Structures are given as C-alpha cells and as structure tokens.
A and B are shown apart, each in its own frame.
Chain A
Amino acid sequence: MKTLDEIARLTAEDLERIGSDENIPVPEDLKVSLPKRNPEHAWRIAAAVALLIGIGVSGYLGYREPKDTFDDPYLAYAAVEKAMNKMAGTVQYGAAKVSETELALEKINYWK
C-alpha cells in the first residue's frame, strides 16, 4: 500500500501506467458514484443562456445602424424639410380647428 506522500510524488505517466495495469486488483468494496445531476440546475443554466442570447439578438437587431437613404446632403436636407412641413401641416390644421371653435363660441356668446 502506498502512502499519500508517495502517491503525491507520482507523475502523470506513472498514474497512467498503474491505471492500465490489469494485474492490480480492484477492491471489491470500492464504490464510485458520480454526483447526480440536478435537472433544475440544467434548466437554470439553459434559461440564463437563452436570456443572454435573447439580449444579444435583440440588441443587435434593434441597434444596428441602418443604411443612409441619401448620399447627397442636399437631398437629405430636402427630405427633412418636407417632413417638417408635414408636421407644420398638422399644427396648421389644429390651429384652424381652434379658430373655428373660438368663432363658434363667439357666436354663441353673441346670441346669449
């Protein structure tokens, strides 16, 4: 029987040679049991991996830089100007409705 010190001094080659030596009997009372896998842990790991993948994919899809529609800054300027005019159209419509309402209220007040 080897002492712990002797075992500690063995090289990897020694251990391999001893392990493959079939003349060394395996003690009958030797029991080797690997720790049982906890299925819950596997699910947790899978969930964490899925989350990380989801974060990565959504981050990439949401934030990748789109391609510029225009190469020419003058055309880009014209597009923004057109959009601003569209917004102004909404403001104009709203203002016109306010004026109409004010006029209607004035008429009502006149007849009171």
Chain B
Amino acid sequence: MKKLYIILALLTLSVTALAQSGRSLYNKYSDLPGMEAVYISPAMFRMMGKIPDVEFQDGNVNFSPIIKSMSGFYLLNATDPKVGAELYAEVKKFIDKGQYELLMEAKDNGEVARIYSMGDEKTVSSLVMLAQEGNETAFISIDGQMDREELENILAQAAAE
C-alpha cells in the first residue's frame, strides 16, 4: 500500500512539474483582463513554413530560417501591475525549476529583461524572454528545434541593425 502512495505522490509531482510550461502559463493568464495574449500553434507554424521567403519587415534580418524551425509560440503581455507581478513570479519559478540557462540579461533603472534558453550545445528546444518595463510584464516562450548558432547569429544580426 505504501508503494501505491509513493507512486501517486510521484505522479502528482511529475504532473505538477510538467504543468509548469509555456502552455500552462498561457492557459492560466491569457483570459485575464488587461492581458495581451498571442498563441501560435504547431499547425500554424507548419503553414508558415510553406510561406515562400518573404520580403522582410523591420530591417534586413532574415528571421525566416529560424522561424521555420519553431513549433509553438506563447506571448503574454500584462498591463495590470498586480497581474504582471504574479506572472513574473510564476515565470521565474518555472525558469528556476526547469533546465534553462540565462542567455542574456539587461537591467536599467529598475527595468529588467532576461532571455533564457533550454537545449543542448547545438539545438535550442525552448527560448524564453521575461521582461518588466514600468507597469508592463512581458513573457515570450518559443518551442522548437532551433539551431543554436543560427539563432544566436540572427539575434546578434538583428541587434546590430
């Protein structure tokens, strides 16, 4: 009987750990008032993959190859400071529990933006950005099989624009 309890406890723990994902956070916060939310499904990414190489917006950086290796996109932008603080704390908890590493951090006058990645040396399977600017809190989570070198080059290229 004790074994059963242990199994159930482990099952609960694993489900709780799994539940801490971009999707669970999106499901929890996306319908709240004052929340801007964008979700792009794997099916939509497959459709985007069929778009012929397009004329690029916002400068000359071609995001197309990296976008085509993505499979899920979640964006939450909270304008309510209370909801934003709650979202920030929950994302931080999710980041700290996961196998994310800090890729970039920028702080200025109390504003902070951090980019985290998860994966191995060659591939990024999850990219997360968490930013707090004034009363706004933004959370972006991107899933996929992105080539790490290509992703870093594209971001550096875009940053140089």
Contacts and interface: CB of A to CB of B under 8 A. Distances in A.
Interface string B1-35: 10011001001100110110101101110100000
Contacts, number: 141
Interface string A2-24: 00000000000000000000000
Q: Provide the main secondary structure of the chain B interface.
A: mixed
A81 B67 contact: yes
Contacts of A91: 104, 115, 155-156, 158-159
B66 A84 contact: yes
Interface stretch (A25-33, A56-64, A104-112): A56-64
B115 A90 contact: yes
A87 B115 contact: yes
Q: B21, B40, B70 — which one has the most chain A CB atoms within 10 A of its CB?
A: B40
Interface of A: 44, 48, 51-52, 54-55, 58-59, 61-70, 73-74, 76-95, 97
19 contacts: A54-B12, A55-B15, A62-B27, A65-B41, A66-B41, A69-B38, A69-B40, A70-B38, A70-B40, A73-B51, A79-B38, A80-B142, A81-B58, A83-B75, A83-B142, A84-B67, A85-B158, A91-B159, A93-B108
